[in-house]
């Protein structure tokens, strides 16, 4: 089967090994980012942070031995931004599971039986997520600090942001 050729040459990705494509019949070339291992470290680090703070088990957004979800969905992303984006997406998945209640229901649970009251567990999880959110924002702001020139505020007190070069 002939694959549809890429519009531009690949810079940041390589083909997914055949062992992961059993039953895949598309004509699109499945690729993964070269830095998928760094994304997995970031996701596993966030999971460990969640567990260390007292959170319970949840499903990870990685494919074992291959990479994270962001490495698969955006294989040509800027390597520096991929890691930051995967951390934000992992946090978003955690928060979504908290709001939906999926975090407190085992995967094989009978959904016809009403849940017991788990408001204390929800409150504890909300506190842990707020701590993780604060830590994530501080880390992202530290990485972005060099992009802003804090030495020259404008007349209205705002900081000038350089325009991107096109």
pLDDT tens digits, one per residue of 46-58? 888 888 888 877 7
pLDDT at 27 (0 to 100): 67
- To the nearest whole percent, how much of the chain has pLDDT over 70? 69
Mean pLDDT of all residues in 137-146: 78
- Measure the CA–CA gap between 128 and 110, rounded to whole angstroms: 27
Higher pLDDT, 115 or 86: 86
DSSP string, the chain: -PPPPPSS--SSEEEPPGGG-TT---SSPPEEETTHHHHHHHHHHHHHHHHHTT------SEETTTEEHHHHH-TTS-HHHHHHHHHHHHHHHHHHHHHHTGGGS-TT--TTSPPPP-HHHHHHHHHHHHHHHHHHHHHHHHHHGGGS-TT-B-TTSPBP-PPPP-
Alpha carbon 97 to chain centroid, angstroms = 14
- Measure the CA–CA gap between 132 and 139, rounded to whole angstroms: 11
Largest CA distance in the chain: 63
pLDDT at 108 (0 to 100): 45
CA nearest to 140, candidates 89, 95, 94: 89
User: Cα torsion for 29, 33, 34, 35, to the nearest 10°?
Assistant: -170
pLDDT at 26 (0 to 100): 67
């Amino acid at each position: 089967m002939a694959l549809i050729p890429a519009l531009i040459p690949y810079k940041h990705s390589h083909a997914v090994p055949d062992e992961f494509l059993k039953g895949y019949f598309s004509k699109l070339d499945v690729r993964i980012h070269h830095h998928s291992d760094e994304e997995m470290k970031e996701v596993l680090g966030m999971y460990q942070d969640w567990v260390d703070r007292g959170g319970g088990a949840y499903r990870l957004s990685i494919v074992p031995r291959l990479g994270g979800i962001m490495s698969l969905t955006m294989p040509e992303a800027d390597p520096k931004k991929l890691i930051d984006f995967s951390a934000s997406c992992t946090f978003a998945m955690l928060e979504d599971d908290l709001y939906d209640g999926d975090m407190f229901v085992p995967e094989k649970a009978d959904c016809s039986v009403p849940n017991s009251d788990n408001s204390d567990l929800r409150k504890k999880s909300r506190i842990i997520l707020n701590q993780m959110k604060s830590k994530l924002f501080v880390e992202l702001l530290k990485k972005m600090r060099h992009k802003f020139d804090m030495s020259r505020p404008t007349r209205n007190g705002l900081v000038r942001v350089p325009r991107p070069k096109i």
